[in-house]
Amino acid sequence: MTRHWTRRDVVVAGLAAGFGTAVLPLAARADAPPRDYESALAAARGQVVYFNAWGGDQRINDFISWVAGAVSTRFGVTLHHVKLTDTAEAVSRVLAGKIAGETDGGGVDLIWINGENFAAMKKQGLLFGPMIQLLPNMKFVDPKTKPTVLSDFTVPTDGYESPWGMAQLVFFYDSARLTQPPRSPAALLEFATANPGRFTFPAPPDFVGSTVLKQFLLSLAPDRRPFDRLLDPALFDTATTPLWDYLAALAPHLWRGGKSYPTSTTALRQLLNDGEIDISMAFNPGDASSAIAQGLLPETVRSFVFDGGMIGNTHFVAVPFNANAKAGALVVADFLLSPEAQLRKEDPNVWGDPTVLDMALLPPEARAAFAQLPRGIATLSPRELGPVLPELHPSWMVAIEARWTQLYGH
């Protein structure tokens, strides 16, 4: 019987291996991997690509459906969106395949990934590549202006994943009910204490829920330096004490008394829309504007951030080492990087996810099209967003999630 690997199995296996940056040698494959984009383009026609990506937001699902139509018409690639609730579901299938000796014909062709899942896959040799040098549209990406396109939660990508979008944590509030949003953890605690039940966050390991914990930690910790390298277990308790002390004070005042938590940002958004809470959040500065445009939030919702800065990163796509349709996956990954797809993705009426492209590298007509995009009624300007705080090393995220689950995962 093939073992079903859980999210904890995957990331703990990565921790046990040290989350290093070297990639294990890949086993021989029956198919010849594409040598360049032209050969990938030729081989991709007629292929079926199973794109494993989070399926919890209809706006994102609709965008992927549009991508599927575009790559079918232009490249003869059939794209199927395998909708995940947790990226580790797909990672576990790839890992199980490697353990079973399945070096080709895998059922995951392309995966939306970053953070600890990427670190674990990279360390265990579960990725095909390096791949980004095969993608022509990488010429529009400049790592000098967006260094996180080559570094995922401090782990160098080494070309094993292709950037897809930029992200920064932002909070939302309904200005019809709340006039002065809290702009620090201390102010948030004061608000929650005075307004019990009006704030909550998604339950980790939901990505945004875990990011909120990291945001609190970075905002409260007197020294952030330990978090940018591999976790030393001997430092964990001391380094994270400010977070657990803060949560102990905050939890009793959360929605439902902190006895339960929303399962996703979609559920959290609905609570804000229904007036059950006053503050929500997302890992996308344009999320509130996009939700307003699609009638998912009232027009009085606005965004805010903590004064000291908010966590930001890049999200990616990658091709597993045993993908059945490597050529098709590369063609899709390159299309996701195209100015056309990036422009549509950033449109707040579609998704509102910020582009990874550098405007200075785009043709004039593409640059003009981006300039004409509406920022959105609830989207903060780059100046208002303030400084971007760097991500923690993935090993810290895994340990923080485990401790939170132990303390609050009812």
Task: Examine the domain organization and report whether 195 and 343 are in the same domain.
Answer: no
pLDDT for position 5: 37
Residues 204 and 259 in one domain: yes
- Global confidence as pTM: 0.81
Both 247 and 202 in one domain: the answer is: yes
Going by pLDDT thresholds of 50, 70 and 90, the confidence category of residue 32 is: low
CA distance 81 to 319: 14
Examine residue 158 and state whether it is found in any structural domain, yes or no.
yes
* pLDDT of the residue at 26: 36
Cα separation, 408 vs 257, in Å, equals: 11
Q: Which residue has the tokens 């897809």?
A: 164
Structural domain includes residue 195:
yes
Q: Specify whether 71 is located in the same domain as 149.
A: yes
Please provide the DSSP assignment of 56-102 as one string: --HHHHHHHHHHHHHHHHHH--EEEEEEESSTHHHHHHHHHHHHTT-
Q: Which of 13-17, 132-136, 339-343, 379-383 is predicted least confidently?
A: 13-17
The verdict on whether omega for the bond into residue 226 sits within 30 degrees of 0, i.e. cis, is: no
225 token code pair: 């330096």
The pLDDT value recorded for residue 145 is 84
Same domain, yes or no, for 287 and 398?
Answer: yes
Q: What stretch of H or E contains 165?
A: strand 162-168
The pLDDT value recorded for residue 24 is 32
**What confidence tier does 170 reach under pLDDT thresholds 50, 70, 90?**
very high
In tens, the pLDDT along 105-129 reads 999 999 999 888 999 999 999 999 9
Position 12 scores a pLDDT of 42
Average pLDDT over residues 356-368: 95
Total domains, the chain: 2
3-state SS string over 310-362? EEEEEEEEECECCECCHHHHHHHHHHHCCHHHHHHHHCCCCCCCCCCCCHHHC
Same domain, 148 and 233: no
The predicted pLDDT at position 78 comes to 98
pLDDT at 388: 87
Termini Cα distance of the chain: 31
Average pLDDT of every residue of the chain? 90
Please indicate, yes or no, whether residues 156 and 44 belong to a single structural domain of this protein: yes
Domain that holds residue 94: 7-164+315-375
Q: Once rounded to an integer, what is the mean pLDDT over residues 134-142? A: 96
Tell how far CA 386 is from the center of its chain. 20
> Is 383 inside any structural domain?
no
Tell whether 144 and 245 lie within a shared domain: no
pLDDT band at residue 9, thresholds of 50, 70 and 90? very low
Same domain, 251 and 352: no
Closest Cα partner for 154 from 395, 316, 318?
Answer: 395
State the CATH number of the domain containing residue 292: 3.40.190.10
| Averaged pLDDT for residues 253-278 | 96
Does residue 382 sit within a domain? no
152 and 220 inside one domain: no
Q: How confident is the model at residue 31 (pLDDT cuts 50, 70, 90)?
A: low
**Which DSSP string corresponds to 183-208?**
-SHHHHHHHHHHSTTSB--PPTTSHH
Query: Does 176 share its domain with 297?
Result: yes
- Co-location of 19 and 117 in the same domain: yes
Span 346-355, average pLDDT = 90
Q: Is residue 402 part of a domain?
A: yes
